[in-house]
């Protein structure tokens, strides 16, 4: 992500900060887009609607070219709520090598970001994975990252997640997001994403931004110290 796009994303999120009452969200947002880039084995790409999936595929190519990950993990479901499905994504990501694409099952048919994060935790536990990238389009990345951290803190505290922004697509294009239920310009999703963070924090599904920042601090002290 270039500097202009980064500034646009952060400014747009900050513009709508009142949509989320967590006072530490601005610091968390900054961190999500200024993550270190260690070389890891696995990277997970959160499911997106067909309108936004190119963000994931371009990020996959970036990560592959930079040799930041070896295995590329995606939801192995059939098409659902705008997601094109595992077979379609695997074909479109074939440039990394079919043997390097890993599908993971989702635990239920109630599809949402936290549920995907729970599936990642189960997969990581089974494989003994200790470090992993998670990637989502820039407007979705903060909630995806916070969801992954929340699930790790509940169920696998030694798993270190690192955020990698998906590629920027046309901000002013009107597209479908949120399980195919919400249509707007991409630039307008920042407000709705902050509202969802606030909603799911209030429900207890997501931890506070301060808890997430403490997780990142501990992660850096343990994982990056080994680099």
Instruction: Report pLDDT digits (tens) over 45-93.
Output: 999 999 999 999 999 999 999 999 999 999 998 887 788 999 999 999 9
- What pLDDT is stored for residue 68 in this prediction? 98
The Cα 94–Cα 193 span in angstroms is 30
β-bridge pairing 131-136 and 42-45:
parallel
Asked if residues 119 and 88 have their Cβ atoms less than 8 Å apart, the reply is no
The Cα 175–Cα 185 span in angstroms is 6
CB-side exposure of 170: number of CA atoms within 13 Å? 7
Q: What is the DSSP string of 112-148?
A: -HHHHHHHHHHHHHHHT--EEEEEE-TTTHHHHHHHH
Look at residue 23 and tell me if it is in a domain.
no
- What pLDDT is stored for residue 16 in this prediction? 83
Look at residue 205 and tell me if it is in a domain.
yes
Q: Is the dihedral of CA 48, 144, 136, 170 positive or negative?
A: positive
2-16, 60-74, 88-102 — which is least confidently predicted? Answer: 2-16
Look at residue 86 and tell me if it is in a domain.
yes
| Tokens coding 2 | 């270039």
Look at residue 69 and tell me if it is in a domain.
yes
What three-state secondary structure class fits 163?
strand
**Angle, helix 3-15 to helix 189-203, in steps of 10 degrees:** 60
β-bridge pairing 182-185 and 101-104:
unpaired
Look at residue 26 and tell me if it is in a domain.
no
- Whether residue 223 has pLDDT greater than 90: no
Task: Identify the CA nearest to 168 among candidates 74, 92, 59.
Answer: 59
Which residues constitute the domain of residue 98? 39-226
Task: Identify any residues that bridge with 132 across adjacent strands, giving them in sequence order.
Answer: 42, 161
pLDDT band at 180 (very low <50, low <70, confident <90, very high): low
| Tokens coding 12 | 């747009």
Number of independent structural domains in the chain: 1
Look at residue 34 and tell me if it is in a domain.
no
Asked if residues 209 and 21 have their Cβ atoms less than 8 Å apart, the reply is no
Model confidence pLDDT, tens digit, residues 102-143 = 999 887 666 789 999 999 999 999 999 999 999 999 999 999
Look at residue 16 and tell me if it is in a domain.
no
Look at residue 3 and tell me if it is in a domain.
no
CATH number at residue 199: 3.40.50
- Whether residue 162 has pLDDT greater than 90: yes
Task: Identify any residues that bridge with 104 across adjacent strands, giving them in sequence order.
Answer: 75
Q: What is the mean pLDDT of residues 175-186?
A: 80
Q: What is the mean pLDDT of residues 195-219?
A: 96
């Amino acid at each position: 992500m270039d500097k202009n796009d980064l500034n646009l994303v952060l400014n747009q999120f900050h513009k709508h900060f009142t949509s989320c009452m967590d006072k530490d969200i601005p610091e968390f947002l900054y961190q999500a887009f200024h993550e270190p880039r260690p070389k890891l084995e696995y990277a997970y790409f959160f499911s997106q609607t067909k309108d936004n999936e190119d963000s994931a595929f371009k990020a996959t190519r970036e990560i592959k070219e930079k040799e930041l990950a070896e295995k590329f993990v995606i939801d192995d479901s059939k098409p659902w709520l705008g997601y094109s499905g595992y077979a379609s994504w695997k074909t479109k990501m074939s440039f990394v090598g079919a043997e390097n694409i890993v599908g993971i099952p989702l635990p239920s048919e109630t599809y949402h970001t936290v549920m995907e994060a729970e599936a990642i935790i189960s997969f990581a536990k089974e494989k003994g994975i200790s470090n992993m990238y998670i990637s989502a389009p820039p407007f979705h990345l903060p909630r995806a990252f916070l969801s992954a951290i929340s699930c790790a803190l509940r169920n696998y505290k030694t798993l270190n997640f690192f955020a990698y922004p998906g590629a920027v697509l046309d901000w002013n294009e009107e597209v479908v997001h949120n399980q195919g239920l919400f249509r707007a310009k991409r630039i307008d999703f920042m407000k709705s994403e902050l509202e969802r963070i606030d909603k799911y924090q209030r429900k207890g599904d997501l931890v506070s931004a301060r808890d997430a920042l403490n997780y990142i601090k501990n992660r850096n002290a343990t994982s990056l110290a080994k680099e």
